[in-house]
Each structure stands twice: as structure tokens, then as C-alpha cells.
Structure 1
Amino acid sequence: MTQNESNLMVEVSTDYYLDGKSKVEIARDRGISRFQVARLLAQARDQGVVRIEITPPRVDGERGARLAARLGVSEILVAATGEDTTATRENVAVELARAARDHITEGATVGVSWSRTVEAAVRHIGRLPQCDVVQLVGALPVEGSGNSLALINTFEQMPGVRTWPVWSPLLVADAATAAGMRRQPEIADALARADRLDVAIVAVGHWSERSSTVFPQISVEEQQAATDAGAIAECSGRLFDAEGRPVRTSLDERVVGVTLEQLAATPQVIVIGYGAAVAPGLVAAVRGGVANTLVVDDAAATALEQLAPA
């Protein structure tokens, strides 16, 4: 691109993004075609000349700091609760993207579990430094959303990022099948890297049909057995009780993915959750040593304050 073309790109971007002119107006005023305007605007975005950041309102940062001190974690980021679940998820996703950019450094090994919020956060992360991204769980397709394989493919498109996929469902029919999947060389290699993570990004859900992606996938008998065993929350297909201790049931043997022990050994684990119902599970994740940073919404923060008074 010549200097004149570069200057025109900046001028067209200023017209469009700052002065609010339409592409048709810019084309007329500049004596170029509307398609040239569109091309210059696209180039400005691709080359970083124009950078757009969507920033939902953040709840008082001091509140997160006070709550982090109460719970004994390094950081709590609090996003605004939206008018509906989709809006809340998007707000939390923006905060998660910020946390990811803060903690993922050059050469890091990053483990990522799938959730709708993690999927949304990738759109806001932008570029990452050169790093390895490890898929922590097999795929569990959710109607209207993607899955962990699609998510890891998104990371694969980022320059400088190597990925380690897990070519398996998250939940298989029986323990023998799961053991066989975990022995497959590519899957075994990816899951072994979960022993050497620098950063992990995972979601915690309340153990219920509404909040857990795994709960609706199993039989009523298995649901009840897990509840009777003390399960209150789920993370990456793994169940734990109010003290953060793993809950072992037949379900645990059917999961192809990271273990709670591997997460507890990871130096930096970013845990996301939203809604008041998830608060006991977040507290349990902290007690179990699988959470250093929490990214929550206002409703979850309020519930956490009630569970961990000053």
C-alpha cells in the first residue's frame, strides 16, 4: 500500500467511524466507489488501524477486590447482569476475555474447556501471544451452540497458536469406552498436557438441569446417584461437593476430559459462572483449589457476598 492509499484509508475510516458518514456519502465526497470504501474499511480493521472494543458497564472494581479477599482468591471480576441470559453471558464473556489477555503470556500452555461463555469470549480476545492451547474436554454438542472441537478450531486460526484437540465426545456410553478413548495417542497426548498447564479457563455450573450441560445427558438414576453422593456443582464434566471434593460416580468414569486434580495443580485457573444459583459451586471450587480468578455477574457476586460475609 502506497502512502497515498494509506492516508486515504485513515481518512475514510475517520469519515465512517468518527464522523458517522455512510459509505455512499464517503464514496461521493472522495470520488471513489462504494466498494473501494468497503475495501478500505476492511483493510483498516485487518491492519489494526481501526480497533473496536465493546465494553459493557463494569460493576465497581473495588467490590470485586473486597470479595476476592473474603474468599481467598487472587481476583474477582464482576460483570453487569443483563436483561436476559444472553446479555449476561455476553457481559461475562467480555470480562473473561480481559482476564485471558492478562494471564496468557508468551510460550504459555493454556487449557480451555467449552462453555457458551468461553465460546463468546473468544470473539473478544483478539490476538494471543504465541502459546499452546489444549482442549480440556471432549465435545458435547449443545443445541444452538458450538462445542469444544469447534472452539479449539477457532484458536487454531489465531497466528502463533498451536492447538491440541481431544477427538472424542465428552461423555461416552460406558467406562470401558472412555478408557479406550483416553488411550488413543492424540487424545492421551492432549490430556497429558493438562498436567503441565500454566493457565486454565473453565466454567462451573450448578448441578441441575438448567445450569449443567452434562445433567440433561444422563439418566434420572445417574442424576439422583450424583446428588445423593453430595454433588452440588460441575466443572468440565467433573462433579464436586460443597467442600470442593470430587464426587465419584459411574458418570465420572464415562467422562473424557481434564480431572479436578489436574486443575488444582494448575497455577492459574480462571473460573466463570453467573446467576445466584452458581455461587455455592464457585465457593466449593475455591475450597477445592481449582479457582484463582473468578469472573462472575452481579447476581452471582451478591450471592457470594451472602455466603462469605465480611
Structure 2
Amino acid sequence: MASTEGEGGAAAPQQRKSPFKGPAELVLVSTVARRFYLDGRSKVEIAEEFGVSRFKVARALDTARESGIVRISIRVPARIDPDLSDRLRAAFGLERAIVVDGSEDPAETHRQLGAVAADLLAEIVEDDDVLGFAWGRTVNAVGAELTRLAHCTTVQLGGVVSHRTYGEDASEGSVESVRRAAQLSGGSAYPIYAPLILPDATTARALRSDPGIAGALARFDRLTKAVVSIGGWDEQSSTVYSCLDPGPREELRERGVRAEISAQLFDSEGTRVHSELDERVLAITDAQLARVPDVIAVAGGPGKTEAIGVVLRSGLISTLVTDADTAQELLG
């Protein structure tokens, strides 16, 4: 029997055996898995592309799963309420309304809304669309849940939100949504690597002339579809509220601010409220949003009903994805 001890009597270290013969096989297995699972190519097509047998393609797919390159999870889709969806659409004159059951856990509700909205984008986005993503927890969930998308250009609709407000990874959400959408669609990406709110108008003007940022801003007027979230005027749901000092916050509340989209503020009637903040933000304006043919709002969960109602009254939204409790409150 072969000894497992070295010269000094100690057991020789056990090395984990790689499932691959070398880097070339690893690249082949990874590429075959991408063609099959992400690009939707058949095993026959993949075999013809790489000049191998269908048996070898099947074996590569098995290896991809066994080695952890591919991880398959079973996700039960959120239940959609067609009747409630239709009633909401008719009540607010929307092009579409999609109502999901939701969950007692707000984080799970956000995930469900993101998953349904991601499936909606896969359904309605067409080749050569220009698709915009605003910042927001639910919009970030949309980006995370995307699995397929037609060839399109993706644009970030505003700067990033400070991590001091929403957690260390939140400021990356909108950038990652744009990058992921571009990766899936094979189109160009125009992220904005700058804060949503700047300390003064001079700094904001300077950043708007930066070539990278200007490239994104220039595409706001070319948008064919935009995905936005809706915030109220409070610390929990607003992207702007926590970035302001208490004085300006209260002044805007007294002026009637009750909701926002991408740092654009609205009163209870859905009328835009302008302030000095307008010159300090890097974001799409309400006037530009009004020219986008299809604006998809993804919003729901506790405490969002008033803000969603405000934005619906603004006339900017053509599609709403929300949860059943919020829909019932809106209709009530």
C-alpha cells in the first residue's frame, strides 16, 4: 500500500483536484455554458460553432454545473393579480398596470416587484431601444433580476446616492443595473460616475460638461423607455430627503412636497415643485421624462401609497408595477 506520509513522517498535504485539464478546457466549458444558458443557443448550434460533438457539449454543460461555474436555482414566480391589475390600469388611465401579491417582508416584496419588472422589460424592450434606469431600491432589484434583454442602449438617469444613507453597496446599484443590462443586451452602456446631489450649482455645471457624464446626459432626449422608482418625502423612501439639512427639508415640506422621482419633487396634486436643488442635481428632468414614450414605475411596499398616487397624478407614468396592498389602497 502506498504511504501517505512524507520523509519526516507527516501526512502529505492533500491538493484539491481541479475538474479541468487546464485553462483551455476551463475557457471552453465556460463559453459553452454561456452560449447555452444565457444566449439560448441549442446544443447542435454550439457543437457546430466549436467543431465538437453534441456529446462533448452535453458533457461540458454537466461539468459547468458540477464545478460551480453554473448554479441553477428554482424561483417560483410572483403571483400576478390580473383583475386588480386591470382595475388599477383603468382607474389611472395607464397603458399597463401589473399587480403582484407581495409579501409581509418588504425586502421580499421589492424582490418580487423587481423580478416581474425584469420579465416585463424582457417582453417589451425591442432592438435599438434606448433604455434608462433611475436609482431606487426596487429599480436596483430590477437590474439584479434581469436574465435577458433585446439589443438596446442603456443609460443611467441620475448620479449615485451616498452610501451613508442607504448602505455601503447601495450607491453602486444604478451603475450595476446599467452595466448588467448592457451585458445581457450586448448594447452600449452610459453610466454616471458622479453623485446625484452636488454641494453647489457650480460643481454640478462643471460635472455636466465632463465628457463621460455629458455622454449619458445627451441620451436623455433619445430615451424610448425608462424605469424609475417613486419616493415619498421622508427618510425611509426618499433619495433626496436625507441628503439635505433639516431646514431645507422642512421648507420643501411646507411648500407641499410629497413625492419624488430622480430628485424631481412633486406636491400632492402631482405638480412639479422647483427649488435651488434643481441646479445641484445630476438627473433626468421631469420635462425630459414627459417626452419618454414609456415610463415604467416600479414601486410598492408599506408607506408608498401617497407618493405613488402623487406621481400617477403627474401624468409622467405609463406603466406601474406594484403590490396588491398598495394597489388596493390606491383604488380605495
TM range (shorter): 0.7 to 0.9
Q: Contact between 1:208 and 1:215, CA under 8 Å: does it hold in 2?
A: yes
CA-based RMSD of the aligned residues comes to: 2.2
Change (3 A) 1:132 1:7: closer
List per-residue Cα deviations over 1:127-172 (Å, max 9, x = no partner): 2111100110011133143332333333343351211122321011
Q: Which residue of 2 aligns with 1:293?
A: 319
| Residue 200 (structure 1) aligned with residue 264 (structure 2) | no
Q: How does 1:83-162 map to 2 (within 5 A)?
A: 83-140=104-161, 141=163, 142-146=166-170, 147=172, 148-162=174-188
Counterpart residue identity of residue 147, structure 2? G
**In 2, distance between residues paired with 1:184 and 1:119?**
25
Counterpart residue identity of residue 66, structure 2? A
TM-score, reference length from structure 1: 0.82
Pick from 61, 68, 73: which aligns with 2:82?
61
Q: Which residue of 2 aligns with 1:215?
A: 241
**In 1, distance between residues paired with 2:239 and 2:221?**
24
**In 2, distance between residues paired with 1:214 and 1:220?**
12
Q: Contact between 2:149 and 2:181, CA under 8 Å: does it hold in 1?
A: no
SS at 1:132 equivalent: strand
Q: Contact between 2:94 and 2:319, CA under 8 Å: does it hold in 1?
A: yes
Greater Cα offset, 143-152 or 125-134: 143-152
**In 1, distance between residues paired with 2:247 and 2:327?**
33
Q: Which residue of 1 aligns with 2:8?
A: none
Give the CA deviation at 1:208. Answer: 0.8
Q: Contact between 1:273 and 1:296, CA under 8 Å: does it hold in 2?
A: yes
Number of matched residues?
Answer: 276
State which structure, 1 or 2, has the greater radius of gyration over its C-alpha atoms: 2
Q: Which residue of 2 aligns with 1:38?
A: 66
**In 1, distance between residues paired with 2:64 and 2:193?**
43
Identical pairs, percent = 32
Q: Which residue of 1 aligns with 2:192?
A: 166
Q: Contact between 2:146 and 2:181, CA under 8 Å: does it hold in 1?
A: no
| Residue 242 (structure 1) aligned with residue 293 (structure 2) | no
Counterpart residue identity of residue 279, structure 1? T
List per-residue Cα deviations over 1:96-125 (Å, max 9, x = no partner): 112211221100001111222222222322
**In 1, distance between residues paired with 2:64 and 2:253?**
61
**In 1, distance between residues paired with 2:104 and 2:205?**
43
| Residue 284 (structure 1) aligned with residue 310 (structure 2) | yes
Q: Contact between 2:152 and 2:186, CA under 8 Å: does it hold in 1?
A: yes
Give the CA deviation at 1:81. Answer: 2.1
Greater Cα offset, 236-245 or 277-286: 277-286
Greater Cα offset, 104-113 or 175-184: 175-184
**In 1, distance between residues paired with 2:160 and 2:227?**
16
Q: Contact between 2:143 and 2:176, CA under 8 Å: does it hold in 1?
A: no
Pick from 283, 295, 299: which aligns with 1:269?
295
Q: Contact between 1:71 and 1:283, CA under 8 Å: does it hold in 2?
A: no
| Residue 76 (structure 1) aligned with residue 90 (structure 2) | no
Q: Contact between 1:276 and 1:302, CA under 8 Å: does it hold in 2?
A: no
**In 1, distance between residues paired with 2:65 and 2:100?**
36
List per-residue Cα deviations over 1:41-74 (Å, max 9, x = no partner): 746x7xxxxx866234324212101111011101
List per-residue Cα deviations over 1:73-96 (Å, max 9, x = no partner): 011111222121111111111111
SS at 1:157 equivalent: helix
Change (3 A) 1:62 1:251: same
Change (3 A) 1:237 1:291: same
Change (3 A) 1:224 1:275: same
Give the CA deviation at 1:184. Answer: 2.3
